[in-house]
Amino acid sequence: MFPVVIGLLPNLPVMVRRVEALAAPQGLAMALAVVVTEAILMVSLVSVLLAAAGLLGQHALRLLGLLLLPVGGVAAWFMWQHQVVIGVGTVLALLSTDHDLSRELLDAPLLAWVLGAGLLPTWLWWRLAPPSWWRGPDRVVLLLRWLVWLLVSALLMASASALLSRIAAPARPDGAPRAASPGGIAAHAYLPTNWLSSVAAVTAQAW
């Protein structure tokens, strides 16, 4: 359920806009095929992250939820309400010391959204995160379940990426690299890959 919550639901408005943008040059059927494949790619990628964290135990799962859910909720708000794509420039703007801009952005609807779409799912994830596999009596079975989940998710992600490379035309969102692959375009357009890669880029520049 949580791979869908993290990888699909916050991206639904973006996917609708992607279908509208791709339908004119490619046709509705091809646009839907591209966006559905992109959705599968995002959900499977989140599933890989969760399975990898599950192998590291309950604390890793909880930390991953604390990272993805609140930040993803805030990022989804800006993508929906302000029609922006989260990139390096967006991250730098949020880290700036422009207090007037910060007051304009931090309004009551945003705070209500963060509470309902960020903090509440985070609290549920904290409560529902399964215990570490090595703490149960059937530790071998639990370990195998995590490994199978990771393998199936990785295969699904690789298959979706390969299919996307075959069917997607190079429809690049604003700011995407000129020679971006279809998988790179999806990573740039959707949560959580866009803000994760942007934060990583800003951190690398700071170092």
From 17-21, 97-101, 175-179, 183-187, the region with the lowest mean pLDDT? 175-179
Average pLDDT over residues 91-101: 62
What burial letters (b/e) apply to 77-104, b meaning 16+ CB within 10 Å? bbbeeeeebbbbebbeebeeeeeeeeee
**Distance of alpha carbon 132 from alpha carbon 175, whole angstroms:** 41
- Cα(42)–Cα(54) distance, integer angstroms: 18
pLDDT of 160 above 90: yes
pLDDT at 173 exceeding the cut of 70: no
- Compare 205 and 39 and report the one with higher pLDDT: 39
What is the average per-residue pLDDT within 36-49? Answer: 94
Higher pLDDT, 70 or 48: 48
* pTM as predicted: 0.83
